[in-house]
């Protein structure tokens, strides 16, 4: 049986692959657990683009360094809010706040610090896409599809036309994420290799010759 060499997706160490079974992505269980823990704790990693929030306790505007941050960094707002909830016997909730869903963009009232999705459908769709991409190219930079769309101004990088926000992803004019260098050709699943594209434009790109897919935009 023939053997071939590859590299660990976590530490870059060489791996000698056998020609049988599923290809290995990690050199040992430690690297596998480290990558899994990072994917599980994505919400605690720094945001791809820092989010400006308003502290519900003192009303000050601050830049959140992670998704779960609710209260500002200065003062004792978090402790004061917790003491007030304890006096009112309201439990350990972090208060209600207005949140924009990272999936569909709808506005809803979140009752927890880590509220990011308006429904289980949006959450399941997001994590399903993340898992499918991670199977091909593990990423160490957290992002959401909506952050990429907003960065590109909701404009398709292939045809240059505007992308409608109110359409589902599989609609011909729906918003999708396009990897500039495809994952199947060694591209990474990180923001610098991503761009917004129409669903139909993204599908049309997939049938182009390989030499055209490798061309990076100017």
SS3 10: coil
Beta bridge partner(s), residue 196: 177
Give 161 or 113, the one with higher predicted confidence. Answer: 161
- Integer Cα distance of 59 and 81 in angstroms: 12
pLDDT over 50 at 215, yes or no? no
Coil, strand or helix: which one is 100? strand
The residue ranking higher by pLDDT, 91 or 172, is 172
Please provide the CATH number assigned to the domain covering 139-218: 3.40.1800
Tell me the C-alpha distance between 153 and 158, whole Å: 14
Across 113-129, average pLDDT: 80
* Percent with pLDDT over 90 in the chain: 8
Total count of residues recorded for the chain: 218
Q: Which helix (H) or strand (E) holds 79?
A: helix 77-87
Alpha-carbon distance 27 to 77, whole Å? 45
Higher-confidence position of 2 and 104: 104
* Higher per-residue confidence, 190 vs 152: 152
Cβ atoms of 40 and 46 within 8 Å: the answer is: no
Identify the band that residue 41 occupies on the pLDDT scale cut at 50, 70 and 90: low
DSSP bridge pairs for 108: 99
Q: What is the mean pLDDT of the chain?
A: 77
What is d(CA 142, CA 198) in angstroms, rounded to the nearest whole number?
22
Residue 114 banded pLDDT, cuts 50, 70, 90: confident
Output the pTM of the full model. 0.43
- Residue in 36, 37, 32, 39 with CA at minimum distance from that of residue 15: 32
pLDDT score, position 216: 40
d(CA 105, CA 123): 12
The 3-state DSSP class for residue 107 equals strand
Spatial contact of 99 and 108, defined as CB atoms under 8 Å apart: yes
pLDDT at 89: 66
The whole-angstrom distance between residue 102's C-alpha and the CA centroid of its chain comes to 9
> 3 vs 101, which has greater pLDDT?
101
Beta bridge partners of 107: 100
Structure confidence at residue 115 as a pLDDT band (50, 70, 90) = confident
């Amino acid at each position: 049986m023939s053997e071939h060499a590859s590299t660990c997706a976590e530490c870059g160490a060489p791996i000698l692959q056998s020609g049988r079974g599923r290809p290995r992505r990690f050199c040992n269980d430690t690297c596998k657990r480290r990558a899994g823990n990072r994917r599980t704790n994505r919400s605690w990693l720094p945001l791809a683009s820092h989010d400006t929030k308003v502290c519900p306790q003192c009303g000050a505007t601050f830049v959140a360094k992670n998704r779960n941050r609710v209260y500002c960094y200065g003062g004792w707002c978090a402790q004061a809010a917790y003491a007030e909830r304890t006096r009112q016997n309201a439990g350990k909730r972090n208060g209600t706040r207005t949140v924009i869903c990272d999936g569909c963009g709808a506005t809803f009232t979140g009752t927890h610090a880590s509220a990011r999705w308006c429904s289980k459908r949006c959450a399941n769709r997001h994590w399903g896409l993340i898992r499918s991409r991670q199977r091909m190219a593990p990423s160490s930079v957290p992002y959401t599809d909506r952050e990429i769309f907003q960065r590109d101004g909701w404009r398709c990088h292939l045809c240059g036309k505007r992308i409608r926000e109110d359409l589902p992803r599989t609609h011909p004019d729906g918003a999708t994420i396009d990897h500039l260098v495809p994952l199947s050709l060694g591209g990474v699943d990180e923001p610098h290799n991503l761009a917004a594209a129409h669903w139909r434009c993204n599908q049309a790109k997939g049938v182009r010759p390989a030499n055209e897919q490798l061309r990076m935009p100017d």
